[in-house]
Structure 1
Amino acid sequence: MGAEELSKLEKKMAQAVALILASGHRLPGVRGWELRRRLGKNFPKIINSLDSRLKQIGLRVKLVPDPDAGPDDLDRARFYIVLSDPLTLSDIQTLGYSLDELAILSATLAYLLAKNGSASEKEVVEMLETKYPRWRVEAALERLARRGYLARTEEGVVSVGWRTLVEVDRQELLKAFASLSSNGELRQAQEKTGPEEGGEQAS
């Protein structure tokens, strides 16, 4: 690659970083179509080059597909800059969360995985109330949703939040799922709500 081409690539990578980090949206990151509009149709190659550069300093570009689109639809996917090594659930405790909040997050994520990623908030609260007072459950869910680890809708649906998808090690979620299942809590909760929605979320 010549000096001029390298200079252009460096400029494009700088633009990509600015787009991803300086998003004006409610959610962080940037959609692929926005990168395409600013960087051109070859934006995936630019992102790959940026990813290689970021890995040298312990960061990387993470692509999260749009749940309503196919995994190959880069235009609708969202791109983030994250740590090269994803957080474990225990790492989240160092960010100022209590042990109870961490346990509630683990149990909720495990339950949501068994429900293909979302469930009614009423179901989630009832499941958690077997272990914690209702006021503590509601306060924890509110905080975790506000921080992006969970998502809540006005219709009363709870789902896995963007921050969990981006930051948390998926293997940790599967461990939480296995732990909850082995304790019988998930099975009991599913018996209350019906088995038809069960099944692990596709990776």
Structure 2
Amino acid sequence: MEEVQTQRESEQETSDESAQSDQDDNQPIVSPPTQPEPSYPSERLKRAAHMLFFKRGRVPGAKAWELKAGIGKSYEKVLDQLDEELKELDLQVKKVEAGGIGEYSPEDDEADKFRYFVRLRGTLTPKEARMSGWRIDNLAALAAALSLVVSKQGKVERKELEIMIAEKAGRWRTLTLTDTFLRTGYLEEDETGMISLGWRTKAEVDLPSLMMLVAEAKPQDDDAEAPATSSMEESVPQPSEEQSTE
């Protein structure tokens, strides 16, 4: 009897082990949890936003060495996280070479020749552009000025630029608009009177898209206006010979 009981217990244990093995085989394979991307403390994000948003001199934004001193060596990763946070506000962090601003020398560290700004990610509607303080015709003159500089391999004489602005916006506004573009940083002028792109153009303007729009724009055809003018003259009734004699 004892041998029979022992045999039954052994068979029961074998059956339980087999059932447990089948149950383990049917369970789905769960991959180990992935480590989340490192998230930087909100204080470092706030400090980075303050350094980029608030102007502390002639030029807004902050240079690489300033961010490294204020945030740490991992400032670029902090800026990447800040850029993600700004997406919902249609803003982005822009990295610009500071050589055109006159702040960089070859003796500086390679990373220190860059400056970081916060700029608009998308585009402004015409209504929003008017609310920003710029007139539409002034924006058109600025776009034409930037296109001329780019087409001249980055530099153009001031006299040639003023002639072009006079054709677009009127001769009496030429000096005012040219000085405005220089003062606001969209253009720069050297000692020889040559005009080049300013720091603000590099930070804010999408030059490839601008040049594509300019290339796609159809110039006005003066010959197309001539028939319309002549037809209007023909539609005006001419005085008869009797009326002219009188």
Same fold (TM over 0.5): yes
User: Aligned pair in 2 of structure 1 residues 18, 94: CA closer, same or farther (>3 Å)?
Assistant: closer
State how many pairs are aligned: 178
Q: Is the 8 A contact 1:59 1:84 kept in 2?
A: yes
Measure how far apart 1:32 and its partner are.
Answer: 1.0
SS of 1:144's partner is helix
User: Aligned pair in 2 of structure 1 residues 95, 19: CA closer, same or farther (>3 Å)?
Assistant: closer
**TM-score between the two structures when normalised by the length of structure 2:** 0.60
Structure 1 alignment gaps of length 5 or more: 184-203
**Map of 1:42 onto structure 2:** 74
User: Aligned pair in 2 of structure 1 residues 113, 13: CA closer, same or farther (>3 Å)?
Assistant: same
Work out which of the residue numbers 208, 211, 233 in structure 2 matches 1:174.
211
Identity of aligned residues (%): 31
Measure how far apart 1:64 and its partner are.
Answer: 1.1
User: Aligned pair in 2 of structure 1 residues 90, 127: CA closer, same or farther (>3 Å)?
Assistant: farther
Deviations 1:148-194 (A, max 9, x none): 332334542322233332223334421354268x75xxxxxxxxxxx
Q: Is the 8 A contact 1:93 1:99 kept in 2?
A: yes
Work out which of the residue numbers 75, 81, 101 in structure 1 matches 2:118.
81
Q: Is the 8 A contact 1:149 1:164 kept in 2?
A: yes
- Cα distance in 2 for partners of 1:54, 1:37 equals 23
- The alignment status of 1:105 with 2:137, answered yes or no, reads no
User: Aligned pair in 2 of structure 1 residues 92, 138: CA closer, same or farther (>3 Å)?
Assistant: farther
After superposing the two structures, state which structure 1 stretch, 90-99 or 139-148, moved more: 90-99
- Cα distance in 2 for partners of 1:87, 1:97 equals 12
Deviations 1:72-116 (A, max 9, x none): x44211101122214589964553333432332121111111123
Measure how far apart 1:126 and its partner are.
Answer: 2.7
- Cα distance in 2 for partners of 1:96, 1:158 equals 24
Measure how far apart 1:127 and its partner are.
Answer: 3.1
Q: Is the 8 A contact 1:89 1:168 kept in 2?
A: no
Q: Which amino acid aligns with 1:49?
A: Q
Deviations 1:113-132 (A, max 9, x none): 11232322122113334445
- Cα distance in 1 for partners of 2:125, 2:159 equals 27
- The alignment status of 1:142 with 2:174, answered yes or no, reads no
Q: Is the 8 A contact 1:110 1:176 kept in 2?
A: no
User: Aligned pair in 2 of structure 1 residues 100, 60: CA closer, same or farther (>3 Å)?
Assistant: closer
**TM-score between the two structures when normalised by the length of structure 1:** 0.71
User: Aligned pair in 2 of structure 1 residues 178, 62: CA closer, same or farther (>3 Å)?
Assistant: same
- Cα distance in 2 for partners of 1:156, 1:110 equals 18
Q: Is the 8 A contact 2:141 2:168 kept in 1?
A: no
Work out which of the residue numbers 42, 55, 60 in structure 2 matches 1:28.
60
**Map of 1:198 onto structure 2:** none
Measure how far apart 1:52 and its partner are.
Answer: 1.1
Structure 2 alignment gaps of length 5 or more: 1-34, 220-246
RMSD of Structure 2 on Structure 1 (CA): 3.2
SS of 2:89's partner is coil
Give the alignment of 1:87-166 within 5 angstroms.
Answer: 87=124, 92-166=129-203
- Cα distance in 1 for partners of 2:213, 2:60 equals 26
Q: Is the 8 A contact 2:129 2:135 kept in 1?
A: no
Deviations 1:128-147 (A, max 9, x none): 34445433111111222223
SS of 1:75's partner is helix
SS of 1:105's partner is helix
